[in-house]
Chains A and B, each alone.
Chain A
Amino acid sequence: MKSLTVSLILLFSTLERISAEMIFQSNLVEIEVQHDQNEVTGEFPFKIEGSEETILSYDALCTCLAGRVEPLLPDRSAKLHWKPGEKGVIKARFDTSKFLGTVDKAIELKLKGRDPIHLTVRVHIPQLLKLEPNTLKWEKGGIADEKVVRITVDHSKPIHIISHSATNDTVYPYELKTIKDGWEYELRVKPKDTGTAGVGVISLRTDCEVPKFSRAVVYVTTRPKRGVGK
Chain B
Amino acid sequence: MSFFTWRIIGPPDRSVKCDQASLPEHFVCLATVESWEKEETLWVDARPRADWKRDGLEGSVLLNDQEDWVDLEPEFVLRILSEPKPRVVVYCNQSGCGSSKYVAEQLRARHSSNLGFEVYVLEGGIKALKGAKGFLE
Contacts and interface: CB of A to CB of B under 8 A. Distances in A.
Interface of A is mostly: strand
Given A101-B106, A199-B78, A217-B74, A62 B69 contact: no
A90 to B, nearest CB: 17
- Kindly state the interface size class of chain B when it binds its partner: 20 to 34
B41 interface: no
Nearest to B96: A61
A135 B111 contact: yes
B137 interface: no
A62 B73 contact: no
- Kindly state the interface size class of chain A when it binds its partner: 20 to 34
A2 interface: no
A153 interface: no
Contacts of A108: 96
Contact of A219 (B81, B94, B99, B102): B81
Interface string B56-91: 000000000111111001100110011010000000
14 contacts: A62-B97, A64-B66, A102-B105, A103-B102, A104-B102, A108-B96, A134-B110, A135-B114, A212-B68, A212-B69, A215-B68, A215-B70, A217-B74, A219-B77
Interface of A: 61-64, 98-106, 108, 118, 133-135, 137, 199, 201, 211-212, 215-217, 219, 221, 223, 226, 230
